[in-house]
Amino acid sequence: MSLRSTNRGRHGFTLIEAVVAMIVLALAVPIGLSMMRDAAVARVGNAQTAKAFWLASAVTEQVMADLDSTDAALGFDALADASAYLNDAPDALRTRLASVVSDAEAAGFTWDVTAGALVDATGVTSGDTDEDIYRVVTISVSWTNTMGQAQNLPLSFMAANRKP
């Protein structure tokens, strides 16, 4: 009787099977990692857009509240000089919103407010002072996305001079 096993079944992988498995992994792993990266970039992009919209909404709410203010530095007429409204004096919009927008600004978001010329209800200047009682106010939020591309989210509304 011989010491050799009479069972000649396979025990383990052949060299060809090991090479095929390595090739499959070499192809599948980069594709899987690329898909995970793309999903992460999309998720971050959506979060950035949501944060930009939140910031634009917060600024819009404050501007709309200012329109009803009896303070001369804050009412509808203050929008005639948007730069002064944003930056000058202790009543400046940037100063008043500093604590609200600080987290977004620290994350690289910037914002600006522009107000157009007086227009009528259709959005065009008619030249009639009784009709030209509106301004188109635009809040723009800018940031750089994860791909290094500049992004901008404008949010506009038409403001009315409700105080004759």
Distance CA 63, CA 85 (A): 10
Supply the pLDDT for residue 10: 63
If you search the block for the tokens 């000649």, which residue do you land on?
8
Supply the pLDDT for residue 6: 54
Supply the pLDDT for residue 7: 55
Q: What is the DSSP string of 108-158?
A: T-EEEEEE---B-TTSS--S-TTT--EEEEEEEEEEE-TTS-EEEEEEEEE
Supply the pLDDT for residue 53: 96
pTM exceeds 0.85 for this model: no
Supply the pLDDT for residue 164: 59
Distance CA 42, CA 145 (A): 10
Distance CA 144, CA 59 (A): 20
Name the amino acid, one letter, at 81.
D
Q: Residue 66 CB: number of other CB atoms within 10 A?
A: 20
Question: Beta 110-115 vs 134-144: how paired, if at all?
Answer: antiparallel
Each residue's pLDDT expressed in tens, for the chain with a length of 164 residues: 555 555 556 677 788 888 888 898 888 888 888 888 877 777 778 889 999 999 999 999 999 999 988 887 788 888 888 888 999 877 899 999 999 999 999 999 999 999 999 999 988 998 888 889 999 999 999 999 988 899 999 999 999 987 65
Domain boundaries, the chain: 52-160
Supply the pLDDT for residue 8: 59
**Closest to 160 measured CA to CA, from 123, 134, 127:** 134
